[in-house]
Amino acid sequence: MKKAIVILMLAVFGYFLAITFLDPQFEAERNRDGVKKFYLDKTVSELKTANTVTAIVVNFRGFDTLGEVTVLFLAATALGSILFKKRHHIGDRTVLLPASAIVGSGAKLIFPAITLLGVYVFVHGHLTPGGGFQGGTIIATGFLLMLIAYRDFSISHNILSVIESLAGIGFVTFGLLGFMNGGTFLQNFLGTGVLNDLLSGGVIPIIYILVGFKVAAELTGLIYTVLHEKG
């Protein structure tokens, strides 16, 4: 019975997939410049965003980005659940050798710079290449450096959970506000400002800031859990 259901589902999926690709209008629609021209024109004229990729990811297909953030959250949660310990004792990263004084001093010196770089990347994601995912990863890399350099360096999971939760709630809230203003999910309802100004792009920089904090908190918590896992 189960095999029959699976075969039926695959057949239905295959049918709709086939008629999509065999549709004689498919090639014509794909080769048109309509979508590309729409994105390029609207990004500058309406959103006042210099980074077209950012406008597509955060605004034009913002609902897909919500799905990507959700997938990252579920992946981090699943791995964290597998490696979960009721108690994490500071200094139990037995697989790591104590860092030298040079490594420790260097880590202290460049950690603020790494964090600042990550913040810069997602704050300016609507103006330059980069964004929330990249900036959050950079910040998590800084925390990884400190965890490796200092065996007694600790991170509060409660604080990370609060940051992650608030960022996720903020993302969804701004998305729903687009609905409430008569648009779609993540519809831009704020003033767009002047092109190439930091305070431009409407909700786009705000969303990327929220994504940056969420990704940084998720990856940092995941790294901390992995490093504290005993064999």
pLDDT digits 0-9 by tens, 94-116: 545 667 788 888 898 999 999 99
To the question of pTM greater than 0.85 for the whole model, the response is no
Mean pLDDT of 211-219: 90
Phi, psi (deg, nearest 5) at residue 25 = -85, -10
Q: Confidence band (pLDDT; 50, 70, 90) for 216?
A: very high
Percentage above 70 pLDDT, the chain: 83
Q: Is 47 within 8 Å of 204 (Cβ atoms)?
A: yes
Mean pLDDT of 16-36: 61
Res 140: pLDDT: 94
Mean pLDDT of 161-174: 87
Res 161: pLDDT: 85
Percentage above 90 pLDDT, the chain: 15
Res 196: pLDDT: 79
Residue type, 2: K
Rg (CA), the chain: 22
In the predicted structure, residue 91 carries a pLDDT above the cut 50: no
How many Å apart are CA 226 and CA 185, to the nearest integer? 35
Burial class (CB in 10 A: 0-12, 13-18, 19+), 195: middle
More confident of the two residues 92 and 217: 217
For the chain, the distance separating the N- and C-terminal CA atoms, rounded to the nearest angstrom, is: 42
Residue type, 108: K
Q: Confidence band (pLDDT; 50, 70, 90) for 59?
A: confident
Model confidence pLDDT, tens digit, residues 113-159: 999 999 999 998 888 887 888 999 999 999 999 988 887 788 888 89
